[in-house]
Every structure is written in C-alpha cells, then in structure tokens.
C-alpha cells in the first residue's frame, strides 16, 4: 500500500471540512466504503488483463495529489460549447455545477447540482443507483468517483414520456492539476425516450473521471452520445453502465478525440428479451496520445440483439487500444450480435491493439466479429489527386470517409459536425 493512497483519507477529510451544509449520512457511508476499496485495491496495473495496454502509473501518482486542489475562477468564453438548438443545457466547470450558465428552467425529472442536493431531493433514486453500482463496478476509478465526486445529473423520465429536447451536459475543466469527477444517472420509464449528449473539453492539464448509469425500462429508447475532446495534457477515464429491460433500445456513440491518455469503458446488459443495443465508437489520436475504448455487451436473455462498430484513426506515434467483449449466457438463445473494429493508421509509428472477444454459452445464436487494420488506400489517394484535389484535402476526404458511417449515425447534427472537424484535425506524419 503506497503512502500515496493512504493520504486520500486525509484529503477526503479536508474536503469534507471545507464543505458547508448538511451532510447526508448514507452518502458519506457510501463514499467511505468506496474510499476503503481504493485504499485496499489500489490502482490497476498492466499486469491485469483489462489494463494490459494502458499504463496508468503516472495518472495514479497525480490523482491523489490533484484531489487536494480546488477549482479557480474561470474566465468567460473559454468553454468549447457546441451550439445546439433547443437543448436542455447543463454546464459543469471543474466538476461543479454552474447554474448561471445552464438552462434556466429544467423540466420535472431533471436534476443537476451537488451530490448533497440530489441526496436531499431524490434520496431513493440516488441510493438505488449507488447500490446497483456496487454490484457491477469493480473499477477503482468508479470508486474514486464515488468517494470524491461532488456533483451529478439525475434524469428521471416518466413512463411514456418523450423528451423532445436533447439533453446537453457540458463538462469543462480549466484549472491546472485538478481532478473533476462527473456523474450522470438516468432512469428511463417504460416506453419513454430521450437523447443525451455528454461533452468533455478542457484547456488545462486535468483529470476527468466520468461515470454514467442508464436504466432503460421496458420499451424505452435511449440515445446517448459522448464526445471527448480534452486538452493534450489531460487524463480522461470514463465508465458507462447501461441496463436494458424488455424491448428497450440503446443507441450509443462514444467519440474519444482528445486527452493525453483516455480510456472509455461501456458496459451494456441486455437483461430481458427484445432488448437491442447499437454502439458506435470512434477513437482519434495523434502525437504521443493513448486512447483506449472498451465495450462489454452481456446478452443475458433470449431474443436480444446488439451491434458494435468501433473505428480508430491513429497517426504520429499514437497508441490505440480496442477491446470488445460479447458475453452470451446459456439462456440467451436466439441472440444476434455483431462486432466490428476497423483501424486506420496514418503513420508507421502509430499502433493499435485490438481484441474482439466472444464468450458464448448458448447454442442457437448468431455472433460475428471482425477486426481490420490498414492505411489510406494509395489508389484512392491518387484518384483524388488526378481530379485536382490537393494531398492534404484528399487525405482528409478519405479519413472522413472512413468514419462516415459512424458520424452519420450521430443523432445531433451539430455534434456530427464537430466530430467531422476533429477528424480533419488529425495530423499526418510524412513517411
């Protein structure tokens, strides 16, 4: 056990002392329990299978220290807000809810604020959420988020409700050497629908630890898009958990296009018949950046379907890691699952580690997986050149073409546009 981690106990105590207002006992208990878990288990090492290609030692060294820092005032106009028409806009800066910058009137069921505030207004929902997480989340980052997170969004959608406006949750970090924990809790009632866009940006060396949990009840439809375009010195670790009940649908897109080191882990459980999950993921990295995206899909009931399409574009000396795991329980007959991973390497120094995994215990299923890695097609490049397109534009066209199916699937056009722009910012290394 390192001194590093035991200091966390003092850090939490200090933070608590600085807080004003009533503390909720059961919330503190949950935080303490999480803290103990971290201290007992420590950070993951590359000797663990799930962390084999992503070395978090530097992150592990910085995290406990940075938790001691507090946010500094942020000047206006620094955020990288995307202009979304008609959205319900929630703004978090350095892990704290910013009420002034957010939409004025929030509909019933949408809560944003400090964890204490949410514990006071929606205790049952928050408690149930914490309990559910307890059962599934063994990541130390989830534990850190629980122990040190200060704010959250809680969205409760009533049965049959269709939320027309997209929910835009904007996270921005601007204070150097600060760690921000973000939390999103979504409970979709029967046959309800919502579209959520979670956006992460920063202009400083920060740590973002993001957590999202979605309960999709019978017949509901969730559209979730996450766009991460953090600062080149930032660390970003995100975990999402989705549970789908009977006939529920989740359409997810995760785009990781920033940060020095980023790891996104999406866990989907198709708990009841008729559930369907369609997950797209895009990894973009240049320079010496490291980006990992993991998806775990658990088919736990018969007649469930999933499709996962993950693509990466890597250049310079970037490192990409993709792990896609499909687990089909023995009772999940008639499961149909399809996992594809395609990787585009734009330089000889870029590298991708890709591992599709299928663990199938039922015998009447259709499961397919494939992974390909390649470079820009020379013939296509030359063809474009002979039409008068300059080399840089020709490369951009082909990179955009490579990701076009995934970008086209992004529900919010403005987000698709921003993603398209990020694609063209990938640098090429002349070989």
Site residues (CB under 8 A) for another protein?
A: 377, 379-380, 382-391, 393-394, 397-398, 400-402, 404-405
Nearest-approach distance from CB 399 to another protein, in angstroms:
10
105/386 with CB nearer another protein: 386
| Residue 375 CB, nearest approach to another protein (Å) | 15
State which residue, 365 or 406, has the beta carbon closest to another protein: 406
- Number of neighbours of residue 13 by Cβ within 10 angstroms: 10
CA atoms of 431 and 415, how far apart (whole Å) = 32
Cβ proximity to another protein: between 388 and 430 the closer is 388
Nearest to another protein of 136, 384 (CB atom)? 384
> How near is the Cβ of 226 to another protein at its closest, in Å?
23
Least distance (Å) between residue 311 CB and another protein: 11
Q: How far is the CB of 83 from another protein (least distance, A)?
A: 23
Compute how many other C-beta atoms are within 10 angstroms of the C-beta atom of residue 202: 31
Which CB atom, from 69 or from 404, has the smaller least distance to another protein? 404
- Residue 178: alpha-carbon gap to chain centroid: 19
Residue with tokens 């989340």, as numbered in its chain: 137
Closest separation in Å from C-beta 309 to another protein:
14
CB nearer to another protein: pick between 367 and 384: 384
CA 143/CA 157 separation, integer angstroms: 26
- Sign of the four-CA dihedral 247, 329, 210, 126: positive
d(CA 261, CA 291): 6
- Beta strands in 300-401, from DSSP E residues, in sequence order: 305-314, 319-328, 336-345, 351-360, 366-374
What whole-number distance in Å separates Cα of residue 244 and Cα of residue 219?
9
| CA dist list (Å): 203 to 120, 187, 211 | 33, 32, 21
């Amino acid at each position: 056990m390192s001194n590093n981690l035991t200091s966390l106990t003092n850090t939490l105590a200090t933070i608590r002392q600085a807080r004003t207002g009533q503390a909720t006992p059961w919330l503190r208990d949950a935080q303490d329990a999480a803290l103990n878990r971290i201290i007992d288990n420590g950070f993951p090492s590359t000797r663990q299978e799930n962390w084999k290609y992503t070395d978090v030692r530097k992150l592990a060294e910085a995290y406990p220290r940075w938790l001691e820092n507090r946010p500094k005032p942020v000047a206006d106009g620094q955020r990288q807000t995307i202009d979304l028409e008609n959205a319900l806009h929630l703004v978090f800066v350095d892990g704290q809810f910013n009420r002034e910058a957010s939409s004025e009137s929030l509909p019933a069921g949408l809560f944003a604020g400090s964890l204490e505030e949410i514990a006071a207004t929606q205790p049952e929902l928050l408690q149930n959420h914490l309990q559910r997480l307890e059962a599934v989340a063994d990541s130390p980052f989830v534990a850190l988020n629980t122990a040190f997170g200060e704010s959250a969004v809680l969205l409760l959608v009533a049965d049959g409700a269709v939320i027309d406006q997209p929910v835009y949750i904007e996270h921005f970090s601007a204070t150097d050497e600060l760690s921000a924990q973000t939390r999103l809790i979504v409970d979709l009632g029967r046959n309800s629908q919502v579209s959520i866009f979670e956006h992460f940006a920063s202009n400083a060396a920060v740590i973002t630890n993001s957590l999202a949990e979605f309960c999709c009840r019978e017949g509901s439809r969730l559209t979730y898009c996450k766009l991460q375009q953090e600062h080149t010195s930032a660390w970003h670790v995100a975990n999402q958990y989705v549970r789908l009940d009977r006939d529920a649908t989740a359409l997810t897109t995760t785009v990781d296009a920033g940060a020095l080191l980023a790891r996104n882990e999406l866990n989907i459980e198709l708990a009841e018949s008729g559930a369907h999950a369609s997950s797209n993921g895009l990894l973009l990295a240049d320079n010496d950046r490291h980006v990992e995206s993991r998806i775990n899909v658990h088919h736990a009931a018969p007649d469930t379907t999933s499709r996962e399409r993950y693509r990466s574009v890597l250049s310079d000396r970037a490192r990409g890691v993709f792990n896609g795991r499909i687990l089909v329980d023995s009772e999940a007959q008639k499961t149909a699952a399809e996992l594809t991973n395609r990787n585009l390497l734009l330089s000889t120094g870029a590298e991708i580690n890709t591992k599709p995994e299928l663990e199938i215990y039922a015998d009447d299923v259709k499961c397919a997986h494939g992974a390909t890695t390649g470079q820009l097609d020379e013939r296509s490049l030359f063809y474009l050149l002979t039409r008068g397109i300059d080399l840089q534009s020709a490369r951009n066209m082909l990179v955009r073409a490579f990701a076009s199916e995934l970008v086209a699937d992004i529900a919010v056009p403005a987000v698709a546009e921003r993603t398209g722009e990020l694609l063209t910012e990938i640098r090429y290394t002349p070989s």
